[in-house]
Structure 1
């Protein structure tokens, strides 16, 4: 009976660890889901993994529309969305590898660049906070003179937030593992 309890507790710890190590990506960083955000630059600095979550924060002027095809994304065709969100603080879980497409449902916003395409990878890819290439290699848009300092500071904020999130998740994993060990001893 004691061995079965340990196996059960180890499985629970593994499930907790999986959820704890999932990253939350606030779309657009400190600027959020807004027309002023350069989503191509923002996504180029992120690694999206299965289990991660996208957090869309935006005003009532916007919405989130998920599109199913690249052609709909390129043409800003929102007539057949996979889902439409309008809460202003929406969370989308990335549950499988592949490409997903998001845009704003407000007339004209998509054609003005308020859209993003992301690629989700399996969970063993390096995170943005630990990936030197995402911090040091400039994207094509970051080499242009139109890049403003708020974009640069939002990238730093995203990295700082990500590092803090990793510390918290590591702490929670250690607590969960310690509880599992303590319970299995009794």
Structure 2
């Protein structure tokens, strides 16, 4: 029975490590960030967005904001009146939790019409992310832990399993 518990623990820890290795953070607009001078269509087409990845919107709060739109028609017409979500912190993280398309625009009047909008298509599977514009989420300690932590926890827990 103890061997079964150890095996289950190793499987769970392995799955957590795989999730960390696969997830990526995409800084929207790359080094330019969320700004009217960025060509977001080109930026998005140069990246692969996967389920579990995150978008990071970096911008000057007060000058810009992020509005998630609910449909492609709202995206095309820059209709921010029926937004799904609004962010205004200047360093906003959006998790891509399912496959499909998501639409974002700047909520500042006129900015969306000037091209400050983003459509991302999220895919499932093991398609590689573009390493030039992404960073591993393991570098974000507030979100995920480095793999060695899981090994440390396993080393602490394995001797205790005989008590179960």
Normalising by structure 2, report the TM-score. Answer: 0.81
Segments ≥4 residues shifted beyond 6 Å: 166-169
Q: How does 1:1-186 map to 2 (within 5 A)?
A: 1-2=1-2, 3-59=4-60, 60-129=62-131, 159=132, 162=134, 165=136, 172-173=146-147, 175=148, 178-179=151-152, 182=155, 186=159
Q: Distance in 2 between matches of 1:104 and 1:167?
A: 28
Aligned pair in 2 of structure 1 residues 184, 10: CA closer, same or farther (>3 Å)? farther
State how many pairs are aligned.
153
CA contact (8 A) 1:100 1:119 kept: yes
Q: Report how far residue 54 of structure 1 moved.
A: 0.3
Q: Report how far residue 6 of structure 1 moved.
A: 3.0
CA contact (8 A) 2:34 2:59 kept: yes
* Residue in structure 2 matched with residue 147 of structure 1 by the alignment: none
SS of residue matched to 2:56: strand
What is the CA deviation profile of residues 77-101 of structure 1, one whole-angstrom value per residue up to 9, with x for unaligned ones? 0110000000111000000000000
Unaligned runs of 5+ in 2: 141-145, 160-164
Q: Which has the higher helix share?
A: 1
Aligned pair in 2 of structure 1 residues 168, 55: CA closer, same or farther (>3 Å)? closer
Q: Distance in 2 between matches of 1:185 and 1:4?
A: 9
Q: Distance in 2 between matches of 1:166 and 1:55?
A: 11
Unaligned runs of 5+ in 1: 130-158
Root mean square deviation, CA, Å: 2.6
Q: Which stretch shows the higher mean deviation, 8-17 or 58-67?
A: 8-17
CA contact (8 A) 2:6 2:158 kept: no
